Amino acid sequence: MTKILNDSDYDRAFLKAKNYLSRVPVSANEYGFNYVQDLRAHHDRVKAKFGGRIKRGQRLGVPRMLVESKQDLDAYIKERQVAVGKSKAGWLRALTMIPKPKRANVASGNFGAKLRDTMWVARHGGQGIATSAFSATRGFVEIKNMLGNVNFIADGAGTLALALGNRDKQMKADLVSYINRTFKNKGA
Q: Are residues 84 and 154 in the same domain?
A: yes
Report how far residue 37's alpha carbon sits from residue 68's, in angstroms, rounded to the nearest whole number. Answer: 8
Last residue of a domain, one of 46, 67, 88: 67
81 and 152 both lie in a single domain: yes
Residue 188 predicted with pLDDT over 60: no
Whole-angstrom Cα distance, residue 159 to residue 149? Answer: 10
Q: What is the pLDDT of residues 145-181, one digit of tens each?
A: 887 676 676 777 777 777 778 888 888 988 999 899 8
Quick: pLDDT tens for 42-84. 888 888 787 777 777 888 776 667 787 788 888 998 888 888 7
Q: What is the pTM of this model?
A: 0.51
**Cβ neighbours of 149 (radius 10 Å):** 17
Amino acid at 109: G
Average model confidence (pLDDT) across the chain: 77
